[in-house]
A and B are shown apart, each in its own frame.
Chain A
């Protein structure tokens, strides 16, 4: 059972990195970004291509850079241009983006499944409780913990982080105080997209690459963000770890309804706390 809890922690960690980006973007732009799953997939493929040439870490870095640029352009051309319209309009645009990116990836890389190797340093397995456990999976937990700690430190210790928190609380008042909220929002969207890209590369060595990977994980990611409380980073972190456990334990203990369990969890949490686990912003 200890192994199963660890398995849940690995998947929860992956969801955490992905959902953190989604929560950040929602916090600033009040838009549920349906394109987030596609960013995750695009990041994985960009990282895969870069890793062919320079190895895993080059892939990770390349994916962060490419997706950050992508996020900045998206913010400038879509989110800012549509910020005075009904948020639903923007949501539909991001959904369209999901379809376009999926098709583009399929066109460039094909539907053939692809796989990426873990870095040599993390390729083996270690004995845990007398059983082999892949080192890379432990590294996933470490990478997610490191990224979350860095993100929280940045939000709570730096000046830019202060602006982000202020702008997500009240964009108008923050702008009146002389903060360029458009620039803050662009930074945050870029960061959110980069986190999605990075999580795609982190996932690549243990989940294979396919154009369907984004759509599949997006559903889990929405559950995380809704359970955690829209726009709340801490809530999303808690919800991601919870969902990881719920999924694994569901698959082991209640296999007949395993596919329903994430949604049952979401329904239960929303009945108990309609604004999610952390009902406040960032």
Chain B
């Protein structure tokens, strides 16, 4: 005979197992979402680049969600204003990480990226650089939670050095933004120039956000150079390009830019950079099946071609998504572990995250701004395959 007591226990057991089943079903339908934090420039000298980063993130998130999420996880993101300034970057990233958006991506200046990198263990977060070029990020500052999905200064100089060798200009100058990126790139260019038998006769370092470049341009002109290596981006590149043309600098010598002939510069000051050369990290014309699909979808959505920061940020987002898929978790520590030597599809083709220094290995391009039939655009003059475009991992990186 069933006692009252047994009945109660039975009911409780049934209730418990029903609750357990419901819980399992919930976990299946909506596993915890992938929360991405985007500390990028909404204001400051690099605001225009921040807009590209946000477009890249938005596109990747919408694409993943439209396909049913990553392993059933929906993706979402929150933006914090990094203000093109390392202190603000650290604060913005800290708020994002502590609010649960600890998969960080997309700061603009290398100084901001480095400021975030130093805090990742404390926040239990990870950071994927998609714009920061300073070598230190995958050198002295490298770490197991820190990744770079864009080209470093060293990678860009692997393209510039052979190009420089074939050029007639002997006497060069440098005009570089006065912070870690500009200094890093200037040092790399100086080394490349020495190795190829050229001379760097003058280096000037205008502060980030300089309005009037006249004093620097006048110095470059007075030194009677044959070429200038320009390390400026965002609003700085636009200002410099216009003023260099007004002073006749661009007409009298060869200008080669680092992150300089990018779509934002071409849209605002296209006529002013016609004839300038530069490293091109990504171009919509890149010939891979993945890129053709990416460009087609991008054009449908934004009605223009994707630029480097958009494509590289999209690539960085793909890295995070594939990391989450492999880890089966959204915990930053586990995702970082999974990303360690991940291979995945990107607009650059199949790419690999190098385990030694967490640098994504990619091909690179070099080109020039030209005008045909009144349309100003970039013409690719040199495509450098992965094997030649990739410097070895920095000896200063010690993965902790």
Give residues in B with beta carbon < 8 Å to A. 42-45, 47-48, 50-51, 178, 204-207, 209, 211-212, 214-216, 218-219, 221-222, 234-235, 238-239, 242-243, 246-248, 264, 267-269, 272
Point out the residues of chain A lying under 8 angstroms from B45, CB to CB. Answer: 212
Not counting A206-B246, A208-B239, A259-B178, a sample of 5 additional A-B residue pairs whose C-beta atoms are within 8 angstroms of each other reads A4-B215, A113-B235, A131-B222, A208-B268, A251-B206
Q: Are B48 and A132 in contact (CB-based, < 8 A)?
A: no
When each residue 239-268 of chain A gets 1 if its CB lies under 8 Å from chain B and 0 otherwise, what string results?
A: 000000001100110010011000000000
Point out the residues of chain A lying under 8 angstroms from B268, CB to CB. Answer: 112-115, 208
B178–chain A nearest beta-carbon distance, Å: 8
Point out the residues of chain A lying under 8 angstroms from B221, CB to CB. Answer: 131
Q: How large is the interface on A (under 10, 10 to 19, 20 to 34, 35 or more residues)?
A: 35 or more
Q: Is A11 an interface residue (CB 8 A)?
A: yes
Known: A4-B218, A110-B51. A212 touches B44 (CB 8 A): yes
Q: Are A212 and B209 in contact (CB-based, < 8 A)?
A: yes
Subset of 5 A-B contacts with CB under 8 Å: A3-B222, A7-B215, A113-B234, A115-B268, A213-B211
Q: Is A143 an interface residue (CB 8 A)?
A: no
Q: Are A113 and B238 in contact (CB-based, < 8 A)?
A: yes
Q: Is A52 an interface residue (CB 8 A)?
A: no
Known: A112-B264, A134-B246, A134-B247. A207 touches B50 (CB 8 A): no
How far apart sit A251 and B211, CA to CA, in the bound complex (Å)?
12
Set B178, B205, B212, B269: member contacting A113, Cβ < 8 A? B269
Q: Are B248 and A113 in contact (CB-based, < 8 A)?
A: no
Q: Are B214 and A7 in contact (CB-based, < 8 A)?
A: yes
Which positions 120-136 of chain A face chain B at CB distance < 8 Å?
125, 131-134, 136
Known: A113-B235, A208-B268. A11 touches B212 (CB 8 A): yes
Point out the residues of chain B lying under 8 angstroms from A134, CB to CB. Answer: 246-247
Q: Is A238 an interface residue (CB 8 A)?
A: no
Known: A115-B238, A133-B247. A207 touches B269 (CB 8 A): no
B306–chain A nearest beta-carbon distance, Å: 15
Chain A's closest residue to B248 (CB) is A132
A10–chain B nearest beta-carbon distance, Å: 7
When each residue 217-232 of chain A gets 1 if its CB lies under 8 Å from chain B and 0 otherwise, what string results?
A: 1000000000000000
Which positions 77-119 of chain A face chain B at CB distance < 8 Å?
102, 106, 110-115
Chain B's closest residue to A7 (CB) is B214
B223–chain A nearest beta-carbon distance, Å: 12
Q: Is A200 an interface residue (CB 8 A)?
A: no
Q: Is A210 an interface residue (CB 8 A)?
A: yes
How far apart sit A213 and B156, CA to CA, in the bound complex (Å)?
30
Q: Are B246 and A136 in contact (CB-based, < 8 A)?
A: yes
Q: Are B50 and A111 in contact (CB-based, < 8 A)?
A: yes
Known: A3-B218, A133-B247. A210 touches B235 (CB 8 A): yes
Point out the residues of chain B lying under 8 angstroms from A211, CB to CB. Answer: 43, 47
A14–chain B nearest beta-carbon distance, Å: 8
Q: Is A216 an interface residue (CB 8 A)?
A: yes
A117–chain B nearest beta-carbon distance, Å: 9
Chain A's closest residue to B206 (CB) is A251
Point out the residues of chain A lying under 8 angstroms from B243, CB to CB. Answer: 206
Q: Are B235 and A251 in contact (CB-based, < 8 A)?
A: no
Point out the residues of chain A lying under 8 angstroms from B178, CB to CB. Answer: 259
Point out the residues of chain B lying under 8 angstroms from A208, CB to CB. Answer: 235, 238-239, 242, 268-269
How far apart sit A134 and B204, CA to CA, in the bound complex (Å)?
21
Chain B's closest residue to A258 (CB) is B207
When each residue 163-196 of chain A gets 1 if its CB lies under 8 Å from chain B and 0 otherwise, what string results?
A: 0000000000000000000000000000000000
Q: Is A137 an interface residue (CB 8 A)?
A: yes
How far apart sit A113 and B46, CA to CA, in the bound complex (Å)?
10
Q: Are A210 and B247 in contact (CB-based, < 8 A)?
A: no
A252–chain B nearest beta-carbon distance, Å: 5
Q: Are A137 and B239 in contact (CB-based, < 8 A)?
A: no
A257–chain B nearest beta-carbon distance, Å: 11
Set A10, A111, A216, A255: member contacting B214, Cβ < 8 A? A10
Please give me the 3 A-B residue pairs with the lowest Cβ-Cβ distance, nearest first: A113-B268, A7-B214, A132-B248
How far apart sit A27 and B247, CA to CA, in the bound complex (Å)?
38
Point out the residues of chain A lying under 8 angstroms from B51, CB to CB. Answer: 110-112
Point out the residues of chain B lying under 8 angstroms from A248, CB to CB. Answer: 214-215
A122–chain B nearest beta-carbon distance, Å: 11
Q: Are A125 and B44 in contact (CB-based, < 8 A)?
A: no
